[in-house]
Homo-oligomer: A and B are copies of this chain.
Amino acid sequence: MILVLAGGVGAARFLEGLVQVVPPASITAVVNTGDDMQLHGLHIAPDLDIVTCTLADLIDQGQGWGIRGDTDACLSWLIKLGGPGWFKLGDRDLALHIRRTDLLRSGHTLSQVAEEFRRVLGVAVRILPMSDDPVPTHILTDQGEMHFEEYLVQHRAAPQVHGVRFVGVEAATPAPGVLEAIATAEAILIAPSNPVVSVGPILALPGVREALLASPAPVVTVSPIVGGAAIKGPAVPLMRALDLEISAFGVAQAYAGLLDGMVIDQVDADLSSLIAALGIRVAITDTIMRGPEEKANLARVSLELARGCRIL
């Protein structure tokens, strides 16, 4: 079994590559739920939906989130009725949130809902939320503390960031199966996701870091920072707020002590000796996932690196 620690868009694209090179049913994705929030009284789970809908080939590939061809009739009326309009929710998309909220309110866990959605949408990859407990990621900014999605979407990542909080993480537990998956994986791949707000919440859960250190599986990541810039999303200001260098080396620092290997982009080849000096094996390839071939190549290189780490 190949375990992937996953955020949203970057992780979903990485998984699209992985399912091309290993049997999808042999993959388990543990997905960040720090972005989850209540909006319109509905439980929105951005990363779970991005991962599930991408693997179900339903995603709007252009933007990386949302359902392809979705419409916004409901949201336009919600706004008319006084509801918040800053977070885009398509009509089909809303069905996921309505159904999830209904199932959660009637006693199901988020894990059970994720499993049900995966099954109904025909996704063979096993999808686990990182936790069934709410652990909202808050961003501490010069405009106050706010939910990550408020920071990213409502405020367009404009406020100055000076810290990050995973609210309630101390009391949260990893979802059923997460620690077992870490213990029994052949390889653990940290997707090219934001190390601070996508993978950070997973690593902050009690027991996860210890399980990763105890697991015999090699831990390999793909840098989401290429040529000193984030491929997508607000990694730069968030890494800067945590005093991380905005580079593949900074990503390696973010995962200090956990990594056996790291895949970096060709443009960052000059960083390989610096990263290697941290005791991390480095593989260099084209990490920009433009199409199916680049995705498959990145998955292949990551798995080869993981296999190489195990042999050493």
**Nearest residue, chain B, Cβ from A113:** B81
Pick 27 A–B contacts, CB within 8 A, sort by A: A40-B99, A40-B102, A41-B105, A41-B106, A42-B102, A71-B71, A71-B91, A73-B90, A73-B91, A74-B91, A74-B95, A74-B98, A75-B95, A76-B92, A76-B95, A77-B96, A78-B95, A78-B99, A80-B120, A81-B96, A82-B99, A82-B120, A83-B95, A83-B98, A83-B99, A94-B94, A94-B98
- 9 smallest CB-CB distances across A and B, nearest first, come from A41-B102, A77-B95, A73-B91, A81-B99, A74-B91, A78-B95, A77-B92, A91-B91, A74-B95
Determine the distance from Cα of A70 to Cα of B82 in the docked complex, in whole angstroms: 19
Determine the distance from Cα of A46 to Cα of B91 in the docked complex, in whole angstroms: 21
Determine the distance from Cα of A91 to Cα of B276 in the docked complex, in whole angstroms: 54
Chain B residues with Cβ under 8 A from A80's Cβ? Answer: 95, 120
**What are the interface flags for A54-96 relative to B under an 8 Å C-beta threshold, 1 for contact and 0 otherwise?**
0000000000000000110111111011110000001110111
State how many residues of chain A have any CB contact under 8 Å with chain B: 30
Determine the distance from Cα of A82 to Cα of B99 in the docked complex, in whole angstroms: 8
Chain B residues with Cβ under 8 A from A249's Cβ? Answer: none
Decide if A116 is an interface residue (CB 8 Å cutoff).
Answer: yes
Instruction: Indicate which residue in B41, B92, B99, B102 contacts A73 across the interface (CB closer than 8 Å).
Output: B92
User: Known contacts being A40-B99, A105-B41, is A117 close to B73, with CB within 8 Å?
Assistant: no
**What are the interface flags for A104-143 relative to B under an 8 Å C-beta threshold, 1 for contact and 0 otherwise?**
0110000000001100100000000000000000000000
Instruction: Indicate which residue in B83, B105, B117 contacts A102 across the interface (CB closer than 8 Å).
Output: B83
Determine the distance from Cα of A279 to Cα of B102 in the docked complex, in whole angstroms: 51
Known pairs A40-B99, A41-B102, A74-B94. 5 more at Cβ < 8 A? Answer: A76-B95, A77-B92, A77-B96, A78-B99, A81-B117
User: Known contacts being A41-B101, A41-B102, A102-B41, is A95 close to B81, with CB within 8 Å?
Assistant: yes
Interface residues of A in 185-230 (CB under 8 A from B): none
Chain B residues with Cβ under 8 A from A78's Cβ? Answer: 95, 98-99
| Nearest CB of chain B from residue A96's CB, rounded to whole Å | 7
Determine the distance from Cα of A9 to Cα of B73 in the docked complex, in whole angstroms: 24
Of A71, A83, A98, most buried by chain B (CB within 10 Å of CB) is A98
Determine the distance from Cα of A18 to Cα of B156 in the docked complex, in whole angstroms: 49
| Nearest CB of chain B from residue A76's CB, rounded to whole Å | 8
Chain B residues with Cβ under 8 A from A40's Cβ? Answer: 98-99, 102
Chain B residues with Cβ under 8 A from A98's Cβ? Answer: 40-42, 74, 78, 83, 94, 98
Are the CB atoms of B41 and A116 closer together than 8 Å? no
Determine the distance from Cα of A101 to Cα of B97 in the docked complex, in whole angstroms: 14
Chain B residues with Cβ under 8 A from A105's Cβ? Answer: 41
Determine the distance from Cα of A163 to Cα of B42 in the docked complex, in whole angstroms: 37
Determine the distance from Cα of A20 to Cα of B219 in the docked complex, in whole angstroms: 74
Chain B residues with Cβ under 8 A from A95's Cβ? Answer: 73-78, 80-81, 83
